[in-house]
Every structure is written in C-alpha cells, then in structure tokens.
Structure 1
Amino acid sequence: MIEVKTCTDEQSKDTFDMYAKVINIFKPTPVHYRGDWLSIEESYDPAEGSLFLIATDSKSKNSSVKKEEILGCMGVKRYGEIAILKHVAVDLRYQGTEVEIQFNNERVKRYEKQYNIAIFLLEELEKLCVSQGILTLIIGTDSYYPSGLKFYKKNNYSSLKENQILDNQDIYCAYQDYKDIDDTWLIKKLSYNVI
C-alpha cells in the first residue's frame, strides 16, 4: 500500500538526502542544501514553512523512511494561505506502460505508473493544504514534471500570468527561479470539499 508522509524536524536532514537522490534522477545538477529552492535550515512543520511530501511503499510502523522505500516526493513552500509546489520526483524503478514526453527539450521515455504515483501525491497534497488552511496552490511545471501541463489542466488548474507572479510579493519570495522561461505556472483555488 502506498502511503504519503510528511517528515518531522528530526527527520528533515535524512529525508532531504533521500529527496535529493530522487530529484537527481531528473536533474543533471545536484540539489544543494543552500541556494536551492528548498533549504535544509528551514522548518518542515506544515504550519510554518517548507515541507516534504513523500510517497512510500513502507509496510513498517516505524516513522523513519529508508531511501529504497521512496516512490516519489514533492517539495512545497508555504506562504500564509498560499502553497507553492516546485519539485516533483518519482523513482524510475516503478515502470509501467511507456509514454513519450518532452524532458529538458529532448524526447525521452517515461512510464505510466509514475504518473499514477504523481497523481496520488497531488491528491494528498491538496488534502494536506486544505487541512492546514491553505486554499491556494500554485504549481511550477518545469523539468521536474514536464508533462504536468496536460495533467494539471485536467485537474482544474489554470494558467497564472507572469504579472500575477511578479507583482505579488508573497509569491515572489517563494522561489528563486521565477524568470525561468521553461516554467509554466498554474494555480488552483482549493475548497474544503477536497478532504
């Protein structure tokens, strides 16, 4: 059974290590503790700052998660009632039906089962946001989830115009690569019906 967990402050260092290893499957440059969108010094309490969502296939009751148990993960930043999802990674070991998508301007193969996990993570993220009083979720669909545009549109996400990002100080503070031309930013208003 796939389970979604958030990590505690005590687990944040180990979880970040595992998260970085999964992300690096997709990303050619390493994920650093400083200077990246997520910083290890930040709090991972959902009520405060950054947090991780990780999907695991762990059957143990132990709260710690081993690297090999991670199926996928997300990096999320909270600013008041706004949450911004920037990183999505799904482990390539979980392969199903081949699909061809664009990735870093190249055509590559990915597998259908990954998207099932990504969909599951997004559904759980929406529930988590609502439970924490977050009713606006912004998605950056860049190379971390390159097929995200079609997927998010099916799930009622709409395009966010550039001036809506750059003119909003809260959103501007939430990520460093806001001028990345490869990004497509999407937004969704959540409701308590999600829970």
Structure 2
Amino acid sequence: MSIEIKLSRSNRIYRPDEPLEGKVIFKLNSGASYQSIRITIDGAVNLQVRGGSAGVIESVYGMIKPIQIMNSKKVVDVRSSGKLGSGTTEIPFSVILKDRKEENLEKFYETYHGNNVNIQYLMIVDVVRGYLHKPLAETMEFIVESEKDNLLQKPVSPEMVFFYITQDTQRHQLLPELKSGSQS
C-alpha cells in the first residue's frame, strides 16, 4: 500500500487565507479497511547551531525543540471509517489555513530555510487502521508566502527599461587615461 499527496498547485506555494487543495492518492494491491483518514497541518520554527565554532553553551541551545507557529495543529477528518478498494483511489481535500471571517491571532511567517533557522509548514496524512494493522502516514512540505496586506509598501510593478553602455556613456575616474592610453 502506498500513499501520495498531490497538491493542486505544482509549486506548492499558498497564502494563509487561500485553501490548501489537492488529493490523497492510494495505490493498493488488495482492498484495505480504515478507521479514519486525517490531515494535520503543522507549522514550526527549527533553530540549529552548527558544530565547529560553537561553544558548549551554543551546542546546548542547538538542541532546542521546534517552536510551534500555529497555536494548535489544524486537524481535518477527510473520511470516517470505510474501505479502500484495490487499485488506485483518489480522495480530494480542501483545508483553509486561516479563515478571514474568524478572529484569528495566529501569524503565519513565510517559509524559510537558512543555515541556523528553518520555518517549515507540513501537511501530514494519517490513515488510522485497525488494532492489528500498522497505521500509515505520508508527509509533504508546502510553502507559505506572506500576505500582501501585511507588506509595508505595495510592491513596485516591474518596468522594462532599455539602456546602452558604450565607452562614451561611462563616467569613470580612469576614463581620460584609458582614452589617451597614458599611465600616471
């Protein structure tokens, strides 16, 4: 049995107020029953201190637990108990990260992967099966872009400007010497 998460956008970039849509694809050799199929959305900041120049104190801080961005993990039940048939089964889903109608104080930070800091958003699909069967899970990272409303200034629209660089248009302090060929 294999699980694949396929998001509606191939670049996996979403804003907090946009629905996270896609489908969960199951590929089975034979039918399987399940108790529930659940999607969990999680956002966390991971702090890392690299070895080498780090001292004893810094290495202790290098073991910090991830800091949760979202106040609570968002859990959505996609399907309650049932059975999946053999072959390929696709189950669509839609999850809203931040509902504009609700007063939500959560702040979503842009996804970032740096040397010492990672801001990461994960989508986890869990298939809870019976007591004798191993639960299945699949994880996929998606990218969160900041909301345009929160920007300090509106982005400048790009313009195309034609210009030419020639020897006559350059104003460099060595230009007279270059033209004359003399050295001082």
TM-score, normalised by the number of residues in structure 1: 0.21
Structure number with the higher helix fraction is: 1
Structure number with the higher strand fraction is: 2
Point out the structure with max Rg over C-alpha: 2
Query: Which is bigger in relative contact order (C-alpha 8 A, separation at least 6)?
Result: 2
TM-score, normalised by the number of residues in structure 2: 0.22
